[in-house]
Structure 1
């Protein structure tokens, strides 16, 4: 497209910036509640961040593949990008600064954020290339209803399946069986095997939004607001029987987060693409190299957590000596540290953008 839809770029970049912010507080012991995940059921603003990114992956697929032919070349490119994302995720899970620079095999986490992005991108792109929107609706409903039935009707260990914390539900039970010690926690993984299935629906819902944005509809912002409202209502109603839960990526969670994504994107679209109000450029810069910025932030954060300075890490030393002050609460100090990290990566994204360096993963 010659005329890019700025709101999509801004939304993608803002999501990456928020991902970095919530992942890098000064200390996990002192964080403002909205910047933490819900303990189990329910959701906070932080729980919206990852599904927002999967949602915009779907929207971006529409723009990237709208004129692509379904041939071996296209499938090869999709497959290569998928493997790159999974590979980067596995590298983050395995890397350590101590020789031989890899953890012991039993300690490596197999699932992860980038791995899920890769898998979701693969299926969402394949579905978009091969099916029309009506079939995509059927696929989305099938994924969400099927997951609901699997999670609520199939018994685990000869007891009734529940959605309480693991292992008494199918998703957590399967994660332990499939990945063993390679999970994030001993009893579950928030990017686990079964919960990746409904996360594909998060991206397909983003595809519908992309189709609306590319359509000839005149009141696109209104349509997106309305769609977002409907998804929110249905998601919260579904919450009564299938609780909103980010760790399990429940079907109600998919609808509620996609609802908020549509509403937020509609607002940005109205302001930037319709009213032509200029704002959010820094987010656009971050969005241009979104995966690279996210990977670097995760990689450098991991290194800073492993470099020791006395009894603490480089990360801890910087936080304690620069950000912890008597006149500030620890929560504010922790937030300021995170905002400093965000500022650094926004500056990096700006430099890359101005030098026209766009690294495709």
Structure 2
């Protein structure tokens, strides 16, 4: 899988060396691939994941510099002589790896069509009643299930904002967004069909797998502020709110550490992880909001009602900006032994083409150094995609400590989206503000990265959780929520099925899929190791969890901490 045959036919009268490098490896030195004797031939297996740059060398002379994108299962030939080389010739046509994806979309389309036909055929009223089942709103009060919110069609007009007293209804679009995030997370964690598109980027850039974690954090922020506001209206004291936040954070940390304890050796246990960072962020942002949030009934309309939601949280924003500034200052100014200040690269072969191997042991710059200093290398991991592309040998953790500071901004931008819901109760003010936030954060991310993958001041990078990455993901989250809110909550063109069931029980799905990812019936040992088989298996495993979420919803079973 992801391999092709490359045959080099030499007509040269001297021995030749073939050098290559993946196009994904930015500014990396070329590595020797093969030695070809005079008038000799060689057959090579080449990875098809990224385009390959190559050239030939003999006696210090280089020629035939080329970049070629090989395709899976293809057979290719190149004739070379002392004076030059021909174009690469396709001997056997490759198999398009996109066919299984197109087939999966077709099957999904048929499934959606069949689902709607069945809904139409059955008792529609009974199905509607099922969809209106309300999960326990207090238990699902943060990132693991959206809270309840009344839908008031009136915009703020009076001097004093009245507390909403209507019957609680779920924000189905937020449940659906959360459900989409957990479904995609399960799919990519299961392998994503073996496609590079569904894996994490080696370093800079974005793939599908890089999107879902920041989406989840952003959604947690939305739900957090609405839940806290609801509890304040219930006359719950702030000290009790803080204790609830603290207890919930500790539980998330404990569950996260337990998931990584397959190796019970405490000297090599991974300390940080997905749920661990979520727990820390929940504590930080939850504490900020618990102490400073204004009860909705006490909010007064000032001179700037259009931005009242921002003005009323100026102190919270000040704290978040300070934390973000601390992150940026440490990233660019903290001295790292034997590494230049402000380095944000992967180490290994990075920049070895022009500057030698001076960055080889600088993986992650200040972020990697802080984690290795505080957590210890044995409590971190080596990412295979990073090693395969950049030949990095240093351990690194993309859920590390410094990136947690910038993640606070990710969550708080979600808090701001939730505050929009609290302050403005009709569709247009909500969607308009979310769209403005999406535009501003997206444009700011583009400026920081210079709208480039590698050449920006701060490239978009999930592994170091760069500021441009935070803003880009927030922009996408604002946009996604706007679209889903219009389609689901406002126009009712889609019920959110089947994702909103998963969005009401994400903790159970996340923990469950982590514990059973190597077990039947979710996974099995592949027979052929083809994209078709892996895609089928990974989609099947994801679908089983979506079905599980629906069954648990019908039985009113929700896992919370």
Aligned equivalents of 2:182, 2:269: Cα separation in 1 = 25
Cα distance in 1 for partners of 2:331, 2:322 equals: 14
Q: Of residues 255, 277, 283 in structure 2, which corresponds to 1:88?
A: 255
Q: Residues of 2 paired with 1:19 and 1:223: CA distance?
A: 28
5+ long unaligned stretches in structure 2: 1-148, 150-167, 293-311, 348-360, 383-393, 450-455
Name the counterpart of 2:220: 57
Deviation at 1:47, TM superposition (A): 0.9
| Worse overlay, 190-199 or 49-58 | 190-199
Equivalents in 2 of 1:38, 1:128: separation in Å? Answer: 34
Q: Distance in 2 between matches of 1:250 and 1:315?
A: 38
Q: Please report how far the alpha carbon of residue 70 of structure 1 lies from its aligned counterpart in structure 2 after TM superposition.
A: 4.7
* Pair 1:173–1:230, CA change in 2 (3 A): same
Matches of residues 179-190 of structure 1 in structure 2 within 5 Å? 179-180=375-376, 181-185=378-382, 186-190=394-398
Q: Which runs of 5+ in 1 are unaligned?
A: 96-101, 305-313
**Segments of 4+ in structure 1 off by > 6 A?**
314-317
Structure 2 residue 499 is the aligned partner of structure 1 residue 283: yes
Higher relative contact order, chain-length normalized (CA < 8 Å, sep 6+): 1
Q: Deviations over 1:227-286 (max 9, x none)?
A: 111111101111221111100001111100000000011000011111122332221111
The offset of 1:154, in angstroms, is 1.6
Aligned residues: CA RMSD: 2.0
Equivalent residue, structure 2, for 1:98: none
CA contact (8 A) 1:70 1:129 kept: no
Instruction: Quote the offset at 1:226 in angstroms.
Output: 2.0
| 8 Å Cα contact 2:498-2:546 kept in structure 1 | yes
Q: Distance in 2 between matches of 1:164 and 1:319?
A: 36
1:229-308 equivalent positions in 2, closer than 5 A: 229-239=439-449, 240-301=456-517, 304=519
Deviates more, 1:274-283 or 1:50-59: 274-283
1:278-357 to structure 2, matched below 5 A, reads 278-301=494-517, 304=519, 318-321=524-527, 324=528, 330-357=530-557
Give me the whole-angstrom Cα distance separating, in 2, the residues matched to 1:197 and 1:20.
26
Aligned partner of 2:325 in structure 1 is 145
Of the three residues 435, 446, 450, the one matched with 1:225 is 435
Q: Does 1:123 align with 2:284?
A: yes
Q: What TM-score, normalized to structure 2?
A: 0.57
Whole-Å separation in 1 of the counterparts to 2:523 and 2:407 = 37
Greater helix share, structure number = 1
Q: In structure 2, how many angstroms separate the alpha carbons of the residues matched to 1:233 and 1:256?
A: 8
CA shift in 2, pair 1:355/1:33, >3 Å: same
Judge conservation of contact 2:522–2:541 (CA < 8 Å) in 1. no
CA deviation after TM superposition for structure 1 residue 138, in Å: 2.0
Q: Which residue of 2 aligns with 1:135?
A: 315
State the alpha-carbon separation in 1 of the partners of residues 540 and 286 from structure 2.
35
Kindly provide the CA deviation profile for residues 287-313 of structure 1, in whole angstroms up to 9, marking residues without a partner as x.
111111101101112x53xxxxxxxxx
Q: Which has the higher strand share?
A: 2
CA offset digits 1:107-154 (Å, max 9, x no partner)? 211110010111111111111222352122223322333312211122
CA distance in 2, matches of 1:164, 1:198: 17
Q: Number of matched residues?
A: 336
